[in-house]
Amino acid sequence: MRIRHALERSILTLTVAALSATGAVIAASPAAAVPATIPLKITNNSGRGPVYIYNLGTQLSSGRQGWADAGGTFHAWPGGSIPPSPAPDASITGPGNGQSITIRMPKFSGRVYFSYGQKLVFKLATGGLVQPAVQNPSDPNANILFNWSEYTLNDSGLWINSTQVDMFSAPYAVGVQPVGGTTKNTGHLKPGGYNGFFNALRGQPGGWANLIRTRSDGTVLRALAPGHGIEAGALPAGIMNDYVNRVWSKYSGSTLTVTPFANQPNTRYFGRVSGNVMNFTNTSGAVVTSFQKPDSDSIFGCYKLLDAPNDLVRGPISRTLCAGFNRSTLLTNPNQPDTSAAGFYTDAVTNHYARKIHAQMVDGKAYAFAFDDVGAHESLVHDGNPQQAYLTLDPFN
């Protein structure tokens, strides 16, 4: 489970409660303790360069934020200021086209950024690192081609994912090789998938093409995720309203059943709409949580009116609703979560950005919105005894 949504929110943290929501099991490997650092092999098959690498995050042993150098040594950020001051240069020179380098990953909850052509600009405010805000045209990184992967390495192993929660940009894949095992990969696009996604988005009526950001030299930089598109004025704020209204109407006269834990089929909640509110009761009939009628931004971001605290009641219900709204399965299936991809995105009103990303992935998996892991449709690999991780920068075709 991803318990972050946008660039300005907190970095990915994986917890026992969060992963339990999908029925995942967290256990330290009985074979060996996870070492303090593991190698990350970065391969540049993109046809482009130069590449700059950044390994930024939270040191799990201390809770301090900072960066890791190529050898995996942690460096805490110095104090920031208002206005934000330049951060130390944390860049690592990446591999040339057709080449690979290997760096060390420490026990972090963090991100591995990579940029093409020029270094990223990071600054420090009094609250810590100011990360790129792709929806802000005045951000100093707005015209830089870049992307990032997210990972957590701790005593229970490595979780590493590709992500499109904030944007679809430079293509890449991630992988992990267990000790004595076969490498697991995810995140690769189909042949032609990069251009296929942008062409499909350009052909989608309703303003979806406005999510695409292009540099003055013609370079396609990214497509904003729809929540950022609403913030930037690229998508209508009410783009999901028609679907929400139909959901509210349906469950004013019938019940939405949510069974949020795959491994706990007897834990069920029942949603009924009254006015502007959907109330959920447990099997005893007691109201356990309620949701105001969500707006489009709450749906795309899985936050605000669909806030998902890291608990065992509201959070799991909210993440199920979020997935149902983004995939438009709430009208076709009153039993949620609906985990069959065959029924996703079939309504005319849906998250077309997510739909088109999934359609272009080799394995069909992506993190196109924050709770795309509902039903295990996320682009995440994990191993409790990792020997090596991989980041592959793929071609732009």
Q: What is the dihedral of CA 123, 127, 128, 130, to 10 degrees?
A: -40
Does 326 share its domain with 375? Answer: no
Does 274 share its domain with 209? Answer: no
**Does residue 216 lie in a domain region?**
yes
Does 29 share its domain with 122? Answer: yes
**Does residue 356 lie in a domain region?**
no
Chain segment 303-329, per-residue pLDDT in tens: 999 999 999 999 999 999 999 999 999
Chain segment 26-54, per-residue pLDDT in tens: 344 444 589 999 999 999 999 999 999 99
**Does residue 52 lie in a domain region?**
yes
Are 318 and 302 within 8 A, CB to CB?
Answer: yes
The residues annotated with a catalytic role in the active site are 150, 166
Is the model's pLDDT at 5 over the cut of 50?
Answer: no
Residues 6+ apart with CB under 8 A from 357: 164, 168, 197, 366, 368
**Does residue 10 lie in a domain region?**
no
CATH of the domain at 307: 3.30.920.50
Are 268 and 259 within 8 A, CB to CB?
Answer: yes
Does 29 share its domain with 146? Answer: yes
Domain count, the chain: 2
Does 292 share its domain with 366? Answer: no
Are 321 and 306 within 8 A, CB to CB?
Answer: yes
> Whole-model pTM?
0.92
Does 206 share its domain with 334? Answer: no
Chain segment 69-80, per-residue pLDDT in tens: 999 999 999 999
Q: Distances from the Cα of 367 to the Cαs of 42, 83, 372, 379, 392, in angstroms?
A: 21, 33, 5, 6, 17
Residue 33: predicted pLDDT: 87
Does 309 share its domain with 374? Answer: no
CATH of the domain at 62: 2.60.110.10
| Residue 363 one-letter amino acid | D
**Does residue 4 lie in a domain region?**
no
**Does residue 53 lie in a domain region?**
yes
Does 44 share its domain with 172? Answer: yes
Does 254 share its domain with 157? Answer: no
Does 194 share its domain with 290? Answer: no
Q: Write down the mean pLDDT value for the chain.
A: 92
**Does residue 274 lie in a domain region?**
yes
End-to-end CA distance of the chain: 30
Are 186 and 379 within 8 A, CB to CB?
Answer: yes
**Does residue 225 lie in a domain region?**
yes
Structure tokens belonging to residue 24: 């995942």
* CA contacts within 13 A on the Cβ side of 397: 9
Structure tokens belonging to residue 106: 């420490």
| Residue 263 one-letter amino acid | N
Does 377 share its domain with 320? Answer: no
Is the model's pLDDT at 150 over the cut of 60?
Answer: yes
Tell me the residue range of the domain where 202 lies: 16-232+361-393
Chain segment 253-299, per-residue pLDDT in tens: 999 999 999 999 999 999 999 999 999 999 999 999 999 999 999 99
Looking at the chain, the number of H-run helices and the number of E-run strands are 7, 24
Name the 3-class secondary structure at 20: helix
Does 206 share its domain with 341? Answer: no
Chain segment 175-219, per-residue pLDDT in tens: 999 999 999 999 999 999 999 999 999 999 999 999 999 999 999
